Amino acid sequence: MSVILEFTVDSAEFTLGQVLSNGADRRLELERIVPTGDAIMPFVWVTADEFTAFEEHVRDSPRVKALHALDRIDGKGLYRIEWADRRDDHLIGGIAMAEAAVLEARGDEHWMFRLRFTDHERLSQFHNYLTDHDIRIHIERTYTLSEETERGHRFDLSEEQREALVLALRRGYFDTPSEASLDELAAELDITRQALSNRIRRGTETVLRKTLLSSVADFDEGTWSD
C-alpha cells in the first residue's frame, strides 16, 4: 500500500535548497526529479516578476554545471538544473533512490515536501538514507492514500470539490493577499473559472455545515464539550 510522507526541511540541509535560496521575492516549486544514469536532474518552477537575477544567482553557484530555461508561462518559468557533481544533492538523491513521487515541494529558506512511496519499505529506505547522510527533516505526518480518502469523504465532499479546495488551499488562494487567482487554479485543473468557483463555494459550504452547524446542534443537545 502506498504511503505519503509530508515533511519540512531547511534549505541549508540540501544542495538544491542552498542553490535556489537567496531571500528574493519569488516562489519556488520542485516539479519532478529525473534520474539520468548517475545524474539527478531537478525541474523547478519559479514564479517571479523577472528571471534574470534568479538565473544569474543559480549559474554563479560552483555546484551548478548548467541551468536550462525550458518554458515561460504567465509569470512562471520552468528550469532544469544540471549539477557539476552528479551526486551533489543527497536529499534529492534519496528521493530518487527510494523511487518516491514528488506530489508537492515548495519553499525558499524553508521547504515543504509531500512524497508518495510505493510501500512502507521504500519509506524506511528513505529514512535510513537520510540518517546515513545526516540530513535533518521535520516530519509533519505520514498516512496512506486510503486514510487520506477517508478524511476527504468525512465531510461528504465530492472528489471534484475536494480537489478544488485542496488545490486552492495549497496554492494560497485563501491567503491575504491571495497568492493564486481563480483563473490560475482553473487552468491548472483544466476547467472553467465558473466551474471552479462553484466547486469551491459548494465545497466550502459543505465543510462549514458539517463543522459549524453540527457543533451548534451538539451544544444545543448538551453533548458539546471543550
Domain ranges (residues) in the chain = 3-143, 155-220
The pLDDT assigned to 210 comes to 66
Residue pair 115/95 in contact (Cβ under 8 Å)? The answer is yes
Using a 10 angstrom Cβ sphere, with 0-12 exposed, 13-18 middle and 19 or more buried, the burial of residue 15 is buried
Under the banding of pLDDT at 50, 70 and 90, the label for residue 154 is: low
Q: Which residue has the higher pLDDT, 221 or 146?
A: 146
Kindly state the average pLDDT of the residues 66-71: 93
The tens digit of pLDDT for each residue in 89-121 reads 789 889 989 999 988 888 888 899 989 999 999
DSSP string over 102-161 = EEEEEESSEEEEEEEESSHHHHHHHHHHHHHTT---EEEEEEEHHHHHHHHHTTT--HHH
Kindly state the average pLDDT of the residues 42-68: 90
Using a 10 angstrom Cβ sphere, with 0-12 exposed, 13-18 middle and 19 or more buried, the burial of residue 217 is exposed
* CATH architecture of the region 155-220: Orthogonal Bundle (1.10)
Using a 10 angstrom Cβ sphere, with 0-12 exposed, 13-18 middle and 19 or more buried, the burial of residue 26 is middle
φ, ψ dihedrals at 219, nearest 5° = -65, -45
First to last CA, the chain: 36
